[in-house]
A and B are shown apart, each in its own frame.
Chain A
Amino acid sequence: MAASIGAAPCRTLFRRSCGKRLSAAWGLLGGARGLVAQGETHLGFQTVPEAEKEQRVYQVFESVAKKYDIMNDSMSFGIHRLWKDILLHQMNPYPGTQLLDVAGGTGDIAFRFINYVRSQREYRLRQKLKSHQNLSWQEISKSYQEEALKPLGGSQVVICDINKEMVKVGKQKAQLLGYTEGLSWVVGNAEELPFDDDKFDIYTIAFGIRNVTHIDQALQEAYRVLQPGGRFLCLEFSQVNNPLISRLYDLYSFQVIPVLGEIIAGDWKSYQYLVESIRQFPAQEEFKAMIEDAGFLKVEYRNLTAGIVAIHSGFKL
């Protein structure tokens, strides 16, 4: 497959040598990501009709749902946890924030958000108590009561994922880890969100947007449901800048990951799709332009791990 070619650091050379449609007349849809016919889209390195992509992606995640977290840990050697922690630090939410986590499946971002907000709130309450040295016992007990009643300070997370299995796994995980309040689960399509306009303060989509058939529609929906002043955050695999790391990364992706997928999850094809879909996703600058097209302002991106992963951030102002 493509692994044998892996030497070329140049992206377009890499893609064209995979033997896809080369006729320039078809190059309308897909832009720099490769040439596809009208009404067709990428499914990894294959070209499929758009209507089919959603269903195929659904099947991929349905089959990997139970082993999703284990696979994430083994494929990235646990680094994905660091990436998600960095995302939370960049988000820096305060108590009272309404978060919409799209493609949030197993709830990693949501749980981290709750932990973050909870610890922030405890920290602030403690600071408040420290600064008022001559509080009466009544006031002190009242502040402890407040903390017990509203440990999240009014924050709420809604986790939306298109796949029922992923949401089920996520909900079980939440019960297991003891996250009882502030979490709501919805099965919904990122291209047609079941939420009204101007509802959320932060919209995150972590490792999900490359699976969406119409990324621009998903971005427009993100713009719609965010409040003015709201923030869009996207954590996604992106293009590596460094040629040496790019070679190692390609080697690892195409030789090791599908094998791991077969051993651990019993599913080679799904993980082949995964690594291919990473290659097909637009580069940092192109994705930034797409976010700007949707109406977001002050769009920035930040590369993590030499560009393997990037956090794109935009504001609705």
Chain B
Amino acid sequence: MLTSENTRSGAGARPEVAARRTMLGRATALRRGLQVAAGRTRGPDSGRGSAQPAGLDPALLGLLVCPLSKRPLRYEESSNELINEELGIAYPVVDGIPNMIPQAARKIEQAWHNYSGKKYHEIVVWQML
């Protein structure tokens, strides 16, 4: 599932993908990936979803982590969910109240689960180029 900010830089797949798999290429791709995913944050402060009444209280974003792995979450404005990429789960936000019960979390369909050990933004960038 690709989010809006990652499809923005989409240029379609090119055969140079294979050539990019060098250490240098990987570093460049990492940097590009970070720029591409500028809206995405490692930590709490997204500053995007605060205006909507059904959205999440910004004060909470700084506090919430995944109850299972205690890792930071990413707030996805379009689907109004808090996403933990590592475990591939999304916690819904209903009426501005995040539901952090693990049983209520939705599993995200991920094609890149098969890529062992690769980071999210790397893989997205591979697919973009």
Contact = CB atoms under 8 A, between A and B. Distances in A.
B65 A194 contact: yes
Interface in A175-233: 184-189, 192-197, 199
A188 B101 contact: yes
B99 A195 contact: no
Given A187-B100, A192-B102, A168 B95 contact: yes
Contact of A184 (B59, B65, B100): B59
A241 to B, nearest CB: 38
A247 interface: no
A164 B99 CA distance: 8
A194 B66 CA distance: 5
B17 interface: no
B97 A189 contact: no
Contacts of A196: 63, 65, 70
Interface residues of B, number: 20
A186 to B, nearest CB: 6
B102 A195 contact: no
Nearest to B43: A196
Contact of B98 (A156, A171, A186, A199): A186
A187 B97 contact: yes
B63 A187 contact: no
Contact of A187 (B57, B65, B99): B99
Interface residues on A, range: 20 to 34
Interface string B21-65: 000000000000000000000000000000000000101100111
B87 to A, nearest CB: 13
Nearest to B56: A184
A156 B64 contact: no
Contact of A192 (B68, B95, B98): B68
Contacts of B15: none
Contacts of B102: 189, 192
Interface of B: 57, 59-60, 63-68, 70, 94-102, 104
4 closest pairs, A vs B, by CB?
A194-B100, A192-B67, A188-B100, A194-B67
